């Protein structure tokens, strides 16, 4: 059979596929550090040449930051855009790595064989699963089953400043029937999954000011406004006794999960006690009456990410600080409007300020949540293909985090995104000793071959 031959080719070519991945992992393409600019260029060049070896019309495209890699190849099936990123996180603290992060190797561990090195899971290993699936198709049939556009970014780990302008300028070229994104993972490291919900993100930094200088708490205590106490009152007022967020209008646009989706989530066998116990906790702290999966996948949040003010050094200094600061983020779902929430939150805070206090604001981004229509036949075709490869049936899941590129494909290109990845919970992405399971790389490649075949058949 056509697909069986491709899968056999993937199995036979696994050692060579790993050699190619190791080459890419050796390039220290850290996008946040200008010292590695040449290495980011080198990674882009490497990908261009690898795509060209498959017959892809590929090139490196300049941006104000690190380059994009764009490639095209024709095929009989639907037009598919595949997105990945070749840049990686910094490796600090280096002393916590067991080996050079850019000298990758295959290691035997108690849980199986892993690919150890920076970028192995995020996102070079994931990116190359798709490329290797295409390589196997080309080796067996001399062509690919779908028309494919490859789109690789070099600034994902540094906020993607060039991404939206590039997509707007090249929208006609990048638009496709669907966008495949491989930057997610398996559910609880075992169940293949398609992510259908992503939370949006709103960030605010506020500084509450009172006196024009720090004050002696003996001379001024009780008489002078204390910004730290004012800020504490604001933060304590953000949630009610049931864990609900009190900012006016905050829940506008928040949907309830459908009964069918809730039933599928219930069937995943998620262990909430183990989830919290793994980080030394035991009691869910969010909205009462909601399951932990609901809290992290389908409910909005308000979290204080940092708070500071006054004297925090060794010893003691009895001052009333002139300023107090906090960083607060909101994870958003459904149709929540981040800009409306920003305005409502600022009005909420300003309405709590006593006399002699003022607030300064510093915005930190605002992106809407993403919801993807599983009625699209491509979703069910991909889910069945994943189920055929892995022991467990593939599931539609939510994601507590935010992946802005998915929304960009949907909103800028009118291209529905399909998020499929093979990372595991213990891959230690962004941390020392990052790894990617050899099983994830191998079965991930086989999964993409199955998905391409399914998409070709579904048309």
User: Is residue 423 pLDDT above 80, yes or no?
Assistant: yes
Name beta bridge partners: 153: 85
What does the domain layout of the chain look like in residue ranges?
Answer: 2-198+370-458, 202-254+300-367
Q: Which of 73, 212, 219 is nearest to 147 (CA)?
A: 73
User: Is residue 95 pLDDT above 80, yes or no?
Assistant: yes
Per-residue confidence (pLDDT) for residue 1, from 0 to 100: 61
Q: What is the arithmetic mean of pLDDT over 135-157?
A: 97
User: Is residue 459 pLDDT above 80, yes or no?
Assistant: no
For residue 266, give every residue at least 6 positions away whose Cβ sits within 8 Å of its Cβ, in sequence order, or none.
none
Q: What is the arithmetic mean of pLDDT over 173-187?
A: 96
Gap between the Cα atoms of 55 and 60, Å rounded:
15
**Band of residue 260 on the pLDDT scale cut at 50, 70, 90:** confident
Per-residue confidence (pLDDT) for residue 365, from 0 to 100: 85
For residue 16, give every residue at least 6 positions away whose Cβ sits within 8 Å of its Cβ, in sequence order, or none.
none
Q: What is the arithmetic mean of pLDDT over 241-258?
A: 96
Residues 16-39: tens digit of each pLDDT: 999 999 999 999 999 999 999 999
Q: What is the arithmetic mean of pLDDT over 266-290?
A: 93
Per-residue confidence (pLDDT) for residue 117, from 0 to 100: 98
Per-residue confidence (pLDDT) for residue 303, from 0 to 100: 97
Gap between the Cα atoms of 456 and 146, Å rounded:
6
Per-residue confidence (pLDDT) for residue 415, from 0 to 100: 96
Q: Which of 145, 118, 116 is nearest to 130 (CA)?
A: 145
CB 336 within 8 A of CB 298: no
Residues 353-389: tens digit of each pLDDT: 999 999 999 999 898 898 888 888 889 999 999 999 9
Q: What is the arithmetic mean of pLDDT over 274-296?
A: 93
The CATH number of 202-254+300-367 is: 3.30.70.360
What is the residue-averaged pLDDT of the chain?
96
Gap between the Cα atoms of 237 and 247, Å rounded:
9
Give the relative orientation of helices 14-25 and 124-141 as an angle to the nearest 10 degrees.
Answer: 140
Whether the bond between 57 and the residue before it is cis, its omega within 30 degrees of 0, is: no
CB 362 within 8 A of CB 233: no
Per-residue confidence (pLDDT) for residue 198, from 0 to 100: 92
CB 399 within 8 A of CB 195: yes
**Band of residue 403 on the pLDDT scale cut at 50, 70, 90:** confident
Segment (H or E) for 365: strand 358-367
Q: Which of 376, 389, 381 is nearest to 445 (CA)?
A: 389
Fold agreement between 2-198+370-458 and 202-254+300-367 = no
Which of 9-18, 100-109, 116-125, 391-400 comes out lowest in average pLDDT?
A: 391-400
Helices (H) and strands (E) in the chain, counts: 15, 18
Quick one: CA torsion of 161, 164, 166, 168, rounded to 10 degrees?
Answer: -160
Number of Cβ within 10 Å of residue 193's Cβ equals 26
| Ramachandran class of 194: left when φ > 0, alpha when ψ lies in -120 to 50, beta otherwise | beta
Please give the sequence-ordered ranges of beta strands (E in DSSP) within 133-282, or none if there are none.
146-153, 178-181, 193-198, 200-209, 215-216
- For domain 2-198+370-458, the CATH superfamily is Zn peptidases (3.40.630.10)
Residues 302-344: tens digit of each pLDDT: 999 999 999 999 999 999 999 999 999 999 999 999 999 999 9
């Amino acid at each position: 059979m056509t697909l069986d031959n491709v899968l056999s080719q993937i199995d036979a070519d696994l050692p060579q596929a790993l050699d190619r991945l190791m080459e890419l992992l050796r390039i220290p393409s850290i996008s946040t550090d200008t010292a590695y600019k040449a290495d980011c260029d080198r990674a882009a060049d490497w990908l261009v040449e690898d795509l060209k070896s498959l017959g892809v019309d590929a090139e490196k495209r300049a941006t104000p930051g690190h380059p994009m890699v764009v490639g095209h190849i024709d095929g009989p099936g639907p037009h598919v855009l595949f997105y990945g990123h070749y840049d990686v996180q910094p490796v600090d603290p280096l002393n916590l790595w067991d080996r050079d992060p850019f000298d990758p190797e295959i290691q035997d561990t108690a849980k199986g064989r892993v690919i150890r090195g920076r970028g192995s899971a995020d996102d070079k290993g994931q990116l190359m699963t798709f490329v290797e699936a295409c390589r196997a198709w080309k080796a067996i049939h001399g062509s690919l089953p779908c028309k494919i556009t490859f789109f690789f970014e070099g600034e994902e780990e540094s906020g993607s400043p060039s991404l939206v302008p590039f997509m707007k300028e090249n929208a006609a070229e990048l638009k496709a029937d669907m966008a495949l994104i491989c930057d997610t993972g398996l559910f609880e490291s075992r169940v293949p999954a398609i992510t259908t919900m992503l939370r949006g993100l709103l960030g605010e930094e506020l500084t509450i000011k009172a006196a024009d200088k720090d004050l002696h708490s003996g001379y001024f205590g009780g008489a002078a406004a204390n910004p730290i106490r004012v800020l504490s009152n604001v933060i304590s007022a953000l949630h009610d006794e049931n864990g609900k967020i009190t900012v006016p209008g905050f829940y506008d646009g928040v949907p309830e999960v459908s009964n069918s989706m809730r039933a599928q989530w219930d069937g995943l066998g998620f262990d909430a006690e183990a989830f919290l116990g793994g980080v030394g906790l035991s009691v869910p702290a969010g909205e009462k009456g909601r399951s932990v999966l609901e809290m992290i996948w389908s409910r909005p949040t308000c979290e204080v990410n940092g708070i500071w003010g006054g004297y925090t050094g060794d010893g003691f200094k009895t001052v009333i600080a002139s300023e107090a600061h906090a960083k607060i983020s909101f994870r958003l779902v459904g149709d929540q409007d981040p800009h409306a929430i920003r305005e409502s939150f600022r009005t909420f805070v300003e309405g709590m300020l006593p006399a002699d206090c003022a607030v300064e604001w510093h915005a930190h981004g605002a992106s809407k949540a993403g919801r993807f229509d599983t009625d699209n036949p491509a979703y069910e075709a991909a889910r069945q293909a994943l189920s055929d490869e892995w022991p467990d049936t593939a599931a539609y899941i939510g994601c507590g985090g935010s992946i802005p590129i998915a929304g960009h494909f949907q909103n800028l290109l009118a291209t529905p995104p399909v998020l499929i990845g093979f990372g595991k919970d213990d891959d230690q992405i962004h941390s020392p000793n990052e790894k990617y399971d050899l099983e994830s790389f191998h079965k991930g490649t086989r999964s993409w071959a199955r998905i391409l075949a399914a998409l070709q058949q579904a048309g």
